[in-house]
């Protein structure tokens, strides 16, 4: 199934600790059916995954009918010092918790 990218729906999911995720799906997907979801993590503390970032991979997956959950967990530099400090000494713990809590 190839869908139309112009109808892509963007939703933001936020946790109180500052972690967030962007949920993207084609607006053409049938609401009464389940669709596969891929969880995509941002590129690390010096990377980010903006909601409207144009990515050939994202576009391709959306066109194939996948829904995407693009996670920005704690530790990213763009979310302030408290967010960065939350990951220090807790790598593999709070970042994994954030991913689980955002799905």
> 22, 19, 30, 29: which is closest to 73 by C-alpha?
19
Distance separating alpha carbons of residues 38 and 64, to the nearest angstrom: 12
* Bridge partners, residue 71, by sequence: 21, 41
Q: What is the pLDDT of residues 24-59, one digit of tens each?
A: 887 766 666 778 899 988 755 665 555 556 678 888
Q: What domains lie within the chain, and their CATH numbers? A: 5-102 (3.40.50.1820)
Cα 45 to Cα 23, 34, 36, 56, 59, distances in angstroms: 20, 33, 27, 22, 24
At residue 73, does pLDDT exceed 60? yes
Neighbours of 91 (CB within 10 A): 11
pLDDT score of 5 more than 70: no
The pLDDT, as a whole number, for residue 54 is 66
């Amino acid at each position: 199934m190839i869908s139309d990218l112009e109808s892509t729906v963007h939703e933001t999911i936020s946790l109180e600790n500052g972690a967030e995720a962007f949920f993207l799906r084609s607006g053409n997907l049938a609401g009464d059916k389940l669709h596969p979801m891929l969880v995509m993590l941002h590129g690390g503390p010096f990377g980010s995954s903006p909601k409207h970032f144009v990515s050939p991979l994202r576009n391709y997956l959306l066109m194939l009918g996948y829904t995407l959950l693009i996670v920005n967990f704690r530790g990213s530099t763009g979310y302030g010092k408290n967010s960065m400090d939350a990951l220090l000494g807790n790598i593999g713990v709070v970042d994994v918790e954030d991913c689980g809590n955002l799905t």
